[in-house]
Chains A and B, each alone.
Chain A
Amino acid sequence: MKFLFEEIANIEYLNLEFSKLEIEETELDHLNHLAKSIIHHKTLDLILDELPDDCREEFLVILSEDEDHQTVLDYLKKSIKDFEVKLIEKVKEIELELMAEIKGEGTA
């Protein structure tokens, strides 16, 4: 099951960082899940901020009914100017923020 942001952006830096670890698959899954869930909630926050007030509820309804994210992506592209660009930029920003935190912890 994909998070919504994964339909448009990927997290290559974090994937590379996690791949350096010699860990079990379940541990890798856990790190991936945490990172993606952080990005997912922050991108949802971006979407709710960008959408006009009267569209937010409708967005949640569509999201609740959309099995493959296509309808909701169409809706967002139509409702938010430069949605894909904004989403990709946001994902990169969060990814770099997480990378800095991870690196900082590693050298502390």
Chain B
Amino acid sequence: MAQHQDNRYHQIKRVLEIHHKKVIKDFSRKHAPLLKKTASKGVSLAGAAVIFSSLLAGAASSDISGTKQPIRSEKKEGSEDERKDINLILKSGNLLTVEKENEIANKLSKNFDLKLSSTLDGNRLNEVYGFIGAEQHLYRWPGDTLSNHDLQRAGIAPLKGAFGYFDNAEQEKYYVAVQLHELPDWNSKWSTLKPWYRYRKVFVYNPDNGKAVVAVIGDSGPSKFTGKTFGGSPEIMEYLQRVDGAQKGKVVILFIEDPDNKVALGPVITNDNLALTR
């Protein structure tokens, strides 16, 4: 009986997820010009974010929130030229100087209309540019199971993340792991640093395709011996088109200045990459 019920649940869930994905796709295609036009006029989208989430989610997700969310970023201008400039800086030497980090942060800030920096409140990551590996899902709350997540092929880690359970599903969906244990003052100041880094909003950028995601720091890792600097949730890796293993690639991670919590988690859609979802 229990097995039958479980099968029935998964049957219904599959039907609804397929239907949902199609509805979002159709809606996004049909109304994209109107939604883009409204967003470009600087209308506060907090209450209407559920509509825009359809537009912005693309095909990466079937989990469209029905609740009010913060505003997503709209691009201003010239992303392709900026991307080439940023790539030149990133590939100009082995180590990024603070000046180069600032230059990259300024260009990305302008391009994505966000306030980005490599240092915030005196804190900085051990690296801002490095290889990213694929992480598994993490338990969001007590009783959570893999079957409640999208992208289930990624699996779920046996233990909670470094900060315990998440505050909400969006945080787990868009989380990164950073090497907190490699911070020079981590051992002496972890009790004050840990709350500062807990679910801290960051900007994750793939310089090879110009795609970007707003995420939270949701875990600590990976170990340095892996050759990787960051870890990305299944949703982040899928959206950024980054893979693990021999074909692994690099990302830039910067802090986001968002004192009023207005920047939403998830893909940062620009006028250029929005066109890709049509």
Contacts and interface: CB of A to CB of B under 8 A. Distances in A.
Contacts of B148: 26-27, 30
B143 A60 contact: no
A60 B8 contact: no
B20 A60 contact: no
Interface string A24-61: 10110011011111101110110010000000110011
Interface SS of chain A: helix, strand, loop or mixed? helix
B37 interface: yes
B44 A65 contact: yes
Interface stretch (B45-53, B172-180, B200-208): B45-53
Contacts of B35: 60
A37 B48 contact: no
Interface stretch (A73-81, A83-91, A97-105): A97-105
A67 B47 contact: yes
B11 A41 contact: no
Contacts of A45: 26-27, 30-31
Contacts of A48: 31, 34
A13 interface: no
Interface string B81-124: 00000000000000000000000000000000000000000000
Contacts, number: 107
Contacts of B14: 105
A21 interface: yes
A17 B162 CA distance: 39
B158 interface: no
Tell me if B's interface is mostly helix, strand, loop or mixed.
Answer: helix
B44 A105 contact: no
Contacts of B54: 41
Contact of A65 (B5, B15, B47, B147): B47
B275 interface: no
Contact of A38 (B6, B23, B31, B44): B23
Interface of B: 1-2, 5-6, 8-9, 11-17, 19-20, 23-24, 26-27, 30-31, 34-35, 37-38, 43-48, 50-51, 54, 62, 64, 66-68, 143-145, 147-148
Given A22-B2, A57-B34, A102-B11, 7 more contacts: A1-B66, A21-B8, A30-B13, A34-B19, A60-B51, A61-B38, A64-B44
12 contacts: A1-B68, A22-B2, A24-B143, A26-B148, A34-B19, A41-B54, A45-B26, A60-B38, A64-B44, A65-B44, A65-B47, A105-B11
Interface of A: 1, 3, 17-18, 21-24, 26-27, 30-31, 33-38, 40-42, 44-45, 48, 56-57, 60-61, 63-67, 98, 101-102, 105-106
